[in-house]
Amino acid sequence: MSPLRSPTPFWRRASIRVWIAQVFFVLLIALAAGFFYSNLMHALRTRGLSVSFRFLTLEAGFRIGETPIPYDPGDSYGRAFLVGVLNTLRVTGIGIILATLLGVIAGVARFSPNWLIRQIVAGYVELIRNTPLLVQLVFWYYAVIFKMPTIQESITIARSILISHRGIALPWPRPTGAFLPWFSFLLVGTVVAAGVGRFRQQYQGRTGRPGYPWLSAISVWVLFAAGGWLLFGSPVWMDRPVIQGTIYRGGVVLTPEFASLLVGLVVYTAAFIAEVVRGGILSVRKGQVEAARALGLREGQILRLIIFPQALRVIIPPLTSQYLNLAKNSSLAIAVGFPDLFSVGKTIFNQTGQPVPAVILVMATYLAMSLFTSLLMNIYNRHVQFLEK
Amino acid sequence: MNISSNVPRPPSISLTPWEWMRKNLLSPWYNGLLTLLTLGFLYGVGKGILTWVLKEARWEVVTDNFRLFLVGQYPSDQLWRVWLGLLGLSLLLGLTGGVWKGTAYSFARATLVALGIFLLVPASWGTRTWLIANGVALAGGILAGRRFRSRRFQQGVLAGWLLYFPLLVFLLRGRPPLLSPVEPGLWGGLLLTFLLALVSIVLSFPIGVLLALGRRSALPAVRLFSVLYIEVIRGVPLVTVLFMADIMLPLFLPEGLRVDRALRAMMGFTLFSAAYVAENVRGGLQAIPAGQIEAAHALGLNSFQTTLFIILPQALRLVIPANVGQFISLFKDTSLVAIMGLLELLGIGKAVLANPAYMGLYREVYLFVALVYGIFSYAMSYASLRLEKALGVGER
C-alpha cells in the first residue's frame, strides 16, 4: 500500500495528537489532584480541621513584640496578621534602600584605583556570598547585638547614637511649630530654583558658555532654606535619645530583633547587588570610556554620564530579582524573633491548629508582594531600556 | 584570513615593587591617605579578631562536640556505616579525577591534600585509620582511573555515581535483616546537611528539566501548568515551602503513610529547587538555534527524539554553570531546616548552645558553622568556575 494514496490515519495527524496528549495530561493532573484532594478531605475530617478563614475575626490573644499600628492581644487574628505584613514591608522597604546604597558603593569600589580597597571589597563579597544568610542572621543577633554592653553602659557615637544589647537608638528630626511656614517658603524656593536652573540652561545652550544650571539652582534653593530658617526659626529639632533607667527615651529605637534582621539582610543583599553592579559596569565597552576621555570629560562625569546610564540597562533585571530575594529572605526573621508575616502566620497556625488556611494566607501574601514588585520593576525597566524602533 | 597574527601585541608592562605600590596604593595623594586610613583600620580590626581567636575564644565548645557537628546523634557503634559511605565517595571521586583530566582531577587532588591536613588534627586511632583508608581509596582511584582511561570505563564511573546515592541512603538507613535500622531522626550535623542537599539536588534536576520542557511545550495545558508551578514557587520564600511540606504534606498523603521530618524537608527542597532549575534549563533551551530542530526534523527524527538526542544534550551543557550556582545556594539553604527543628549543622549548633555548659558561646559556635559552610561553598564555586572555563561556555 503506497503511503501517497492512503490517507493518514486520524490518530497520526499532528493536530489530533496534540489534543490527545493534552487530554491525557489534564486527566493525569486531575487524577493526581483528586487523589491528594480526597486524602486531604479525609485527613481534615478525621482530625476535625477546616479550610475556612472565619477564624480571622476571632480574638488572637497573643502578644506581638513590635507593632507599627496599635495592636493588643484582644484584637483579631486578621489584625495580628496585618501587623506581621506591615513589619515585613517595613524591613523590606528600608532594607532595599540601604542595600542598594551599600551595594552600589561596593560594586563601584571594585574598580577603585586603590588596590587595598579592591581587595577588601572582593573579600567582603566572597565571605558573604559563601555563607548561608540564616547563619549570618543568628550571628548578628546572638553574637553581635546580644553581646553588646548593658543599656547603662551603651556605646555612644557622636553623643547621639546609642548601642546596647537592648537595641540601637538613633536621633530623629521632628518638626517644630515653625515647620509649616518654613516648608511653604521652601516650596516657593523650589519653584524659583527650578526657574533659575532652566534659565541658566537656556543661557548655556544659547551662548555656549558654561551656565552651571545645577549649581545655580541648588544655591538658590539652599539660600531659600537658610533664609526661611532665619525668618521663622528652626523648623526641626533633633530628638536625641537618652538613657532613662533601663530603657531609651526619645529618638528612634531599633529593637535588637529589627536591627539584626535589617543589618543581616542589608549586608547580605548588598554583596549580591555589588556583583550585579560590577557586571553592569563591566558590560560597558571600554571604547565608551576612552571616547569620553578623548572628549575631555572628567572621571566623575564619565561615571555619571557615560557608564551608569549604559550599565543601568544591564543592572535593572538582576537587581529586581535581588530586591525580590530580599523581600523573600525577610521571612527568616523568625530565626531572630522578629514578628514578620511568616512568623505571625506560624503563631496563628500554632494557636488555631489549622494548617491549610495558615499556609494559604502566608503564601498568597508573599506571592502578591512578589508579583507587585516585579510589576513595578518591569515598568521601570521598560523606562531605562533603549528605545528601539 | 587571520590578520591578528600580524598585529604586534601591546608591550607587557613590568613594574618594580615600588612602582606597583605608587600606582596602586599611593597616587594621587588622597589615595595614599586612603591607604593609610585603611591600613590603620585593618590593623585595629585584625588585631582585635586575632586576639579573640587565639586567646579569648573558648574553642572547646567545638572540639568537645565535634562528633555532634559532623554526624549528629548517629549511634556511635554504627559510625562505620558513615565512614564506609565516605570511603565509597573517595573511591568514586578518585576514579572520576583519574578518568577525566582537568577540574575533576584537581578537585580530587585538593581533597587528598585536605585529607592529609585532617590527619594532623588530633583524633582517635580509629578515626585516623578511616582517614588513611579514605586517602588510600582516593589515591588508588586516581591511579586506577589513569590506567584505564577508556570510554567504557568512563560510562562505568558515571553509573557508579548514579548507583552510589541509593546505596548510600540504604547504608545509612539500614533494613532489619541486613543492617540495624537508624531512623532519619537521628541523622544530624554535616551528614544531614549533605544528605538534604544531595538528595534534593539529584531529585530536583529531572523534575526541573521536565518543567522547562513543559514551559516551552506546544500544548497549552502543559505550558499553563508549568508556568503556574514555576512562578508560584519562585514567588514565595523557601521557608514557607518548607513550612507547607512540614505541616501540610502529611494531610495530602494516604492515612497511615508516615513520612519522616527529614524526608519531608527533602521533598520541600526538591519542589522548591525544581522551579529554579527549570528556569535555568529554559535559558539553555532558548539558546539552541532553531536550525538544529529543523535539521533534526529533516533527518526524520520525531519530536521526542529531537528533544532527547539533539536539544537536551546541547542545552544542558550550556546550563551547567547556572545549575551549579543553584546547587550551591541549595546547599546553603539547607540551614533553613534548623527553623523546622531539624538538627543539621546549624540546628546542632543551636542544640549545643542550649547546653548550660556552653552557654553564651554564640560567637565560637556560629563562626565555626559559618566556616564549614564557607569552605564547602567556596570549593564548589571554585570548581564551577574551573568547569565553566573547561567547557568554554562563555566563549562560544
Ranges B49-53, B130-134, B151-155, B372-376: which has the least confidence: B151-155
Whether B12 shows a pLDDT value over 80: the answer reads no
User: What CATH code is carried by the domain that includes residue B343?
Assistant: 1.10.3720.10
Distance from CA of A369 to the nearest CA of B (A): 8
**pLDDT value at position A389?**
40
Q: How many domains does chain B have?
A: 2
- With a CB cutoff of 8 Å and minimum separation 6, the contacts of B315 are B281, B284, B285, B287, B288
CB contact under 8 A, A366 and B232: no
Residue B22 counted as domain residue: no
Contact A33, A337 (CB under 8 A): no
Distance from CA of A205 to the nearest CA of B (A): 35
Distance from CA of B346 to the nearest CA of A (A): 7
Q: What average pLDDT score do residues A343-360 get?
A: 89
Distance from CA of B76 to the nearest CA of A (A): 28
Q: What is the ipTM of this complex?
A: 0.85
Whether B387 shows a pLDDT value over 80: the answer reads no
Q: What average pLDDT score do residues B74-92 get?
A: 86
Q: What average pLDDT score do residues B311-331 get?
A: 87
**B295 and B192 share a domain?**
yes
Chain B partners within 8 Å of A276 (Cβ): none
Residue that terminates a domain, selected from B124, B152, B181:
B181
Instruction: Report the chain B residue with the minimal C-alpha distance to residue A345.
Output: B240
Whether A135 shows a pLDDT value over 80: the answer reads yes
CB contact under 8 A, A143 and B373: no
**pLDDT value at position A386?**
62
**B176 and B194 share a domain?**
no
CB contact under 8 A, A332 and B253: no
% of chain B residues with pLDDT over 70:
96
**pLDDT value at position B396?**
42
pLDDT tens-digit readout, B260-318: 888 899 999 999 999 999 999 998 898 888 899 899 999 999 888 898 899 998 888 88
CB contact under 8 A, B255 and A367: no
- With a CB cutoff of 8 Å and minimum separation 6, the contacts of B80 are none
Residue A363 sits at the chain B interface (C-beta within 8 Å): yes
**B82 and B171 share a domain?**
yes
Contact B189, B70 (CB under 8 A): yes
Across chain B, mean pLDDT equals 85
pTM of structure: 0.86
**B140 and B214 share a domain?**
no
Alpha carbon A193 to chain centroid, angstroms: 32
**Band of the pLDDT at A213, cuts 50, 70, 90?**
confident
**Band of the pLDDT at B145, cuts 50, 70, 90?**
confident
Distance between terminal CA atoms of chain A? Answer: 55
Name the residue among A114, A136, A356 with its Cβ closest to that of B24. Answer: A114
Distance from CA of B354 to the nearest CA of A (A): 13
**B168 and B258 share a domain?**
no
**Band of the pLDDT at B5, cuts 50, 70, 90?**
low
**Band of the pLDDT at A205, cuts 50, 70, 90?**
confident
Residue B216 counted as domain residue: yes
Residue A335 sits at the chain B interface (C-beta within 8 Å): yes
CB contact under 8 A, B255 and A42: yes
Whether A219 shows a pLDDT value over 70: the answer reads yes
Residue B311 counted as domain residue: yes
**B99 and B164 share a domain?**
yes
**Band of the pLDDT at A139, cuts 50, 70, 90?**
very high
Chain B partners within 8 Å of A18 (Cβ): 218-219
Residue B349 counted as domain residue: yes
Residue B210 counted as domain residue: yes
CB contact under 8 A, A139 and B244: no
Distance from CA of A223 to the nearest CA of B (A): 31
Whether A162 shows a pLDDT value over 60: the answer reads yes
Residue B9 counted as domain residue: no
Across chain A, mean pLDDT equals 88
* 3-class secondary structure, B74: coil
**B168 and B191 share a domain?**
no
CB contact under 8 A, A116 and B232: no
Distance from CA of A85 to the nearest CA of B (A): 14
**B231 and B285 share a domain?**
yes
Whether B3 shows a pLDDT value over 60: the answer reads no
Q: What average pLDDT score do residues A257-265 get?
A: 95
B138: containing domain: 76-181
Residue whose entry in the numeric block shows the C-alpha cell 582516593: B138
**B114 and B194 share a domain?**
no
**B155 and B86 share a domain?**
yes
Q: Best of A19, A27, A131, A360 to disrupt the B interface by mutation (most B CBs within 10 Å)?
A: A131
**B177 and B199 share a domain?**
no
Whether B395 shows a pLDDT value over 50: the answer reads no
Whether A43 shows a pLDDT value over 80: the answer reads yes
Q: What average pLDDT score do residues A321-339 get?
A: 92
Name the residue among B38, B221, B248 with its Cβ closest to that of A25. Answer: B221
**pLDDT value at position A257?**
93
**pLDDT value at position B1?**
45
Q: What average pLDDT score do residues A211-235 get?
A: 88
Residue that terminates a domain, selected from B156, B181, B206:
B181
**B222 and B366 share a domain?**
yes
CB contact under 8 A, A142 and B236: no
Ranges A31-45, A278-292, B338-352, B382-396: which has the least confidence: B382-396
**pLDDT value at position A6?**
62
The CATH classification of domain A77-154+261-384, taken from the options 3.40.50.720, 1.10.3720.10, 3.30.70.260, 1.10.150.120 = 1.10.3720.10
Chain B partners within 8 Å of A359 (Cβ): 240, 243-244, 247-248
**pLDDT value at position B392?**
65
CB contact under 8 A, B24 and A133: no
Q: What is the DSSP string of B361-393?
A: -HHHHHHHHHHHHHHHHHHHHHHHHHHHHHHTG
**pLDDT value at position A387?**
56
**Residue A161, φ and ψ in degrees, nearest 5:** -100, 125
**Residue B220, φ and ψ in degrees, nearest 5:** -55, -35
* 3-class secondary structure, A97: helix
Q: What average pLDDT score do residues A43-67 get?
A: 83
Whether A361 shows a pLDDT value over 80: the answer reads yes
Contacts 24+ apart (CB under 8 A), B304-310: B307/B213
